Amino acid sequence: MLSRPARSLACTLPAAALLLAAAVSPAGAAPGGPNRTFTEVATFAVSGEVAEILAVTPNGRTLLYTDSATGEVGLVDLTHPERPTALGTVPVGGEPTSVAVTRDGRFALAVVDTSVSFTEPSGELAVIDLRSRAVVRTLALGGQPDSIAISPDGSVAAVAIENQRDEDIDVGGTEGGLPQAPAGFLAVVDLPGAPARWTVDRVELTGLEGALYPEDPEPEYVDIDRRGIAAVTLQENNAVALVDLASRRVVDSFSAGTVTRDDADTSDDGVVRFEDDLVAPREPDAVQWSRDGNLVTADEGDLAEEPSGGRGWTVLSPEGQVVFTSGGSAEQALAAVGRYPDDRSDDKGAEFEGAEVASLRGTDYAFIGSERGDSVLVYDVRDESRPELLQVLPTGEAPEGLLAVQRKHLFLTSNEDDGTISIFQLGGR
The reported pLDDT for the residue numbered 307 is 87
Q: Going residue by residue through the chain (429 aa), what tens digit of pLDDT does each one get? A: 333 443 333 334 433 333 343 334 434 544 455 578 999 999 999 999 999 999 999 999 999 999 999 999 999 999 999 999 999 999 999 999 999 999 999 999 999 999 999 999 999 999 999 999 999 999 999 999 999 999 999 999 999 999 999 999 999 999 999 999 999 999 999 999 999 999 999 999 999 999 999 999 999 999 999 999 999 999 999 999 999 999 999 999 999 999 999 999 999 999 999 999 999 999 999 999 999 999 999 999 999 888 889 999 999 999 999 999 999 999 999 999 999 999 999 999 999 999 999 999 999 999 999 999 999 999 999 999 999 999 999 999 999 999 999 999 999 999 999 999 999 999 865
Domain locations along the chain: 10-45+256-429, 92-246
pLDDT at 59: 97
CB-based contact 195:137 (threshold 8 Å): yes
* Contact between residue 312 and residue 274 where contact means Cβ atoms under 8 Å apart: no
* Cα–Cα distance measured from residue 391 to residue 357, given in angstroms and rounded to the nearest whole number: 15
Task: Give the max Cα distance, the chain.
Answer: 61
* Ordered DSSP codes for 214-233: TT---EEEEEE-TTSEEEEE
Has domain 92-246 been given CATH number 2.130.10.10?
A: yes
pTM (2 d.p.):
0.94
Distance CA 360, CA 409 (A): 6
